[in-house]
Amino acid sequence: MVITSEIMDRLVEKNPGEAEFHQAVHEVLTSIEPVLERHPKYVKAKIVERIVEPERQIIFRVPWQDDTGEVQINRGFRVEFSSAIGPYKGGLRFHPTVNLGIIKFLGFEQILKNALTGLAMGGGKGGSDFDPKGKSDDEVMRFCQSFMTELVRHIGADTDVPAGDIGVGGREIGFLFGQYKRIKNVFEGVLTGKGLNWGGSLVRTEATGYGVIYFLEEMLKSKGETIEGKTAVSSGSGNASIYTVEKCQQLGAKVVGMSDSNGYVHDPEGIRLDTVRRIKEIERGRIKEYVEEHPHATYHEGWKGIWSLKVDIALPNATENEIGREEAELLVKNGVIAVAEGANMPSTPEAIEVFLENGVLFGPAKAANAGGVAVSGLEMAQNSQRVAWTFEEADEKLKGIMHHIYTTASEAAEEYGAPGNLVVGANVGGFLKVADAMLDQGLV
Ligand code: NDP
């Protein structure tokens, strides 16, 4: 950190209290130090100082009325981080823990992730501290309409294209799109993750999870291994987790645990995904209800306990910093051979160190979970051409993109002196693409 430590110090001083943002930037700066040493042109043009400062940050009031008629006020965010290689692109998160630091960490990660896909997408992220849990459909609609009434001024199919994230699925995207269209009187691909009969892409729903497993396959292949016959756990039981588990099972692994923010279920016979989907996607219930239908399975309070299960493959798909040093050490002790991150930044720096020191194959989020945004990019392409590809076409493209990401990251790791370290590879691979575009475009 010779070149970047001063930049890091200034960033912490200038953005106090944004711990997750500091963590995300620190990891990237550590990885790209050898790039800066080899290419002083990036240092001279202050590419790093520029890339860590969002191009634009919007914070706004979101007033709405609940079903009892009471007025509620939430805070909305959109951080338009980088448009170096395309329109700002990244999801919206609705969760009570959302604050500016969280949105900035996600937006910053998104810049490099989007670059790695090879598609023309810049980086952005947004959301609100609104909690959709326990709200009626009408309340969620009123909130989304109010949120979009402000957001509409800042986004557009060629400017900024939001999508889903925690708490924002098909229902929310529908309400947001409806309000955008009503205000702008334009039917365009301004959001991704849309319904299939109004501009959505096949495979978008499955893309994050399927992509994680395609990436995992690539990592295992490098060691002459496959997914078939392995045991796995996947934390969370939302979009990322459900489709990670689906693909994992299709490829012959046995997934023995899933969780939500209250606790986890352990099903030694293999998780019945149809039950999880019904509980979480249709009834919007809790994962503990699983054991009512499958009494041989057990439910345990506390979501971190899932990492104590003995498995070959760990798939964190819930939220940031869900695996710390202790959980990583437990996984290693229990013989884990691979970790592929579906959630954003789910492993702490200490946990990553434990995995790398112990020779565990480690797929960092930026690379492993880029399938979601990649198919969002494909959705944008289909919207622009007013065409719709088949499931097979979109899935093949997703597989090709995940292969490209793996190759880019592993080659960059090799080239910059960290063979096999995909954290370094993903950071360097993404950075180079964005940095070169910034150099080409002058001081903007
Ligand atoms: P969902 O809202 O569909 O599901 C989130 C799941 O994680 C739920 O089971 C939720 O439990 C659990 N969870 C959320 N917050 C916490 C927490 N603080 N502690 C413990 N469990 C928690 O979100 P997604 O599946 O879309 O997102 C999951 C992760 O994947 C996030 O990190 C997101 O950024 C990342 N991601 C998602 C993409 C997408 O396309 N959807 C793309 C790339 C990354 P509960 O139901 O109890 O809240």
Digit-coded pLDDT (tens) for 361-400: 999 999 999 999 999 999 999 999 999 999 999 999 999 9
Span of 89-93, 217-221, 279-283 with lowest mean pLDDT: 279-283
User: Is the Cβ atom of 165 under 6 angstroms away from ligand 1?
Assistant: yes
Structure tokens at 108: 């910053």
Give the Cα-Cα-Cα angle 122, 128, 133 (nearest 5 degrees): 125
Asked if residues 254 and 228 have their Cβ atoms less than 8 Å apart, the reply is no
User: Is the Cβ atom of 239 under 6 angstroms away from ligand 1?
Assistant: yes
User: Is the Cβ atom of 166 under 6 angstroms away from ligand 1?
Assistant: yes
Which residue, 153, 154, 176, is CA-closest to 163? 176
For ligand 1, atom 20, the nearest C-alpha belongs to 261
* Structure confidence by residue, pLDDT tens digits, 116-169: 999 999 999 999 999 999 999 999 999 999 999 999 999 999 999 999 999 999
* Half-sphere exposure in the Cβ direction for 414 (13 Å, CA): 6
Rounded to whole angstroms, how far apart are CA atoms 328 and 253? Answer: 21
Q: Return the percentage of the chain with pLDDT > 90, whole number.
A: 99
Beta carbons within 8 Å of 342's beta carbon, 6+ residues apart: 208, 209, 212, 234, 236, 240, 241, 244, 315, 316, 317, 365, 368, 369
**Strand order of the sheet with strand 263-266?**
298-301, 263-266, 254-259, 231-234, 313-315, 338-340, 361-363
Rounded to whole angstroms, how far apart are CA atoms 216 and 386? Answer: 33
* Structure confidence by residue, pLDDT tens digits, 294-319: 999 999 999 999 999 999 999 999 99
Helices 371-385 and 204-221 cross at an angle (nearest 10°) of 130
For ligand 1, atom 28, the nearest C-alpha belongs to 318
- The pLDDT value recorded for residue 119 is 98
User: Is the Cβ atom of 348 under 6 angstroms away from ligand 1?
Assistant: no
- The pLDDT value recorded for residue 131 is 98
Label residue 327 left, alpha or beta by phi (over 0 means left) and psi (-120 to 50 means alpha).
alpha
Rounded to whole angstroms, how far apart are CA atoms 338 and 312? Answer: 7
Q: How far is CA 268 from the centre of its chain?
A: 28
User: Is the Cβ atom of 321 under 6 angstroms away from ligand 1?
Assistant: no
Query: Is the model's pLDDT at 18 over the cut of 80?
Result: yes
Exposed/middle/buried for residue 152 (C-beta within 10 Å: 0-12, 13-18, 19+): middle
Exposed/middle/buried for residue 99 (C-beta within 10 Å: 0-12, 13-18, 19+): middle
Burial profile 266-277: b = 16 or more Cβ within 10 angstroms, e = fewer = bbeeebebebbb
Q: Rounded mean pLDDT of the chain?
A: 98
Query: Is the model's pLDDT at 97 over the cut of 80?
Result: yes
User: Is the Cβ atom of 237 under 6 angstroms away from ligand 1?
Assistant: yes
For ligand 1, atom 32, the nearest C-alpha belongs to 343
For ligand 1, atom 13, the nearest C-alpha belongs to 318
- The pLDDT value recorded for residue 339 is 98
Question: Catalytic residue at 133?
Answer: no
Which atom of ligand 1 is nearest the CA belonging to 280?
A: 46
pLDDT band at 90 (very low <50, low <70, confident <90, very high): very high
- The pLDDT value recorded for residue 322 is 98
**Longest alpha-carbon distance in the chain:** 63
How far, in Å, from the CA of 317 to the mean position of ligand 1?
6
Give the chain's domains with CATH numbers: 55-189 (3.40.50.10860), 207-368 (3.40.50.720)
Pairing of strands 56-65, 71-82: antiparallel
pLDDT band at 422 (very low <50, low <70, confident <90, very high): very high
Residues in the chain: 444
Rounded to whole angstroms, how far apart are CA atoms 320 and 53? Answer: 21
- The pLDDT value recorded for residue 3 is 87
Cα Rg, the chain, nearest whole Å: 21
Which residue, 376, 88, 406, is CA-closest to 239? 376
User: Is the Cβ atom of 364 under 6 angstroms away from ligand 1?
Assistant: no
Query: Is the model's pLDDT at 402 over the cut of 90?
Result: yes
* Structure confidence by residue, pLDDT tens digits, 224-233: 999 999 999 9
Mean pLDDT of 267-280: 98
For ligand 1, atom 41, the nearest C-alpha belongs to 165
How far are the Cα atoms of 48, 94, 177, 335 from residue 173, in angstroms, in the given order?
A: 34, 12, 6, 40
Structure tokens at 391: 């499931």
Q: How far is CA 50 from the centre of its chain?
A: 23
* Structure confidence by residue, pLDDT tens digits, 64-79: 999 999 999 999 999 9
- The pLDDT value recorded for residue 277 is 97
Element (H, E) at 59: strand 56-65
Which atom of ligand 1 is nearest the CA belonging to 237?
A: 9
Structure tokens at 385: 């051409």
- The pLDDT value recorded for residue 2 is 79
Rounded to whole angstroms, how far apart are CA atoms 114 and 366? Answer: 8
Element (H, E) at 91: strand 88-94
Query: Is the model's pLDDT at 1 over the cut of 80?
Result: no
Catalytic residue among 89, 104, 113, 125: 125
User: Is the Cβ atom of 317 under 6 angstroms away from ligand 1?
Assistant: yes
How far, in Å, from the CA of 318 to the mean position of ligand 1?
4
How far, in Å, from the CA of 140 to the mean position of ligand 1?
18
User: Is the Cβ atom of 372 under 6 angstroms away from ligand 1?
Assistant: yes
- The pLDDT value recorded for residue 180 is 98
For ligand 1, atom 48, the nearest C-alpha belongs to 261
Structure tokens at 183: 């205000």
Query: Is the model's pLDDT at 268 over the cut of 80?
Result: yes
> H helices then E strands: how many in the chain?
17, 12
Exposed/middle/buried for residue 57 (C-beta within 10 Å: 0-12, 13-18, 19+): middle
pTM, full prediction: 0.97
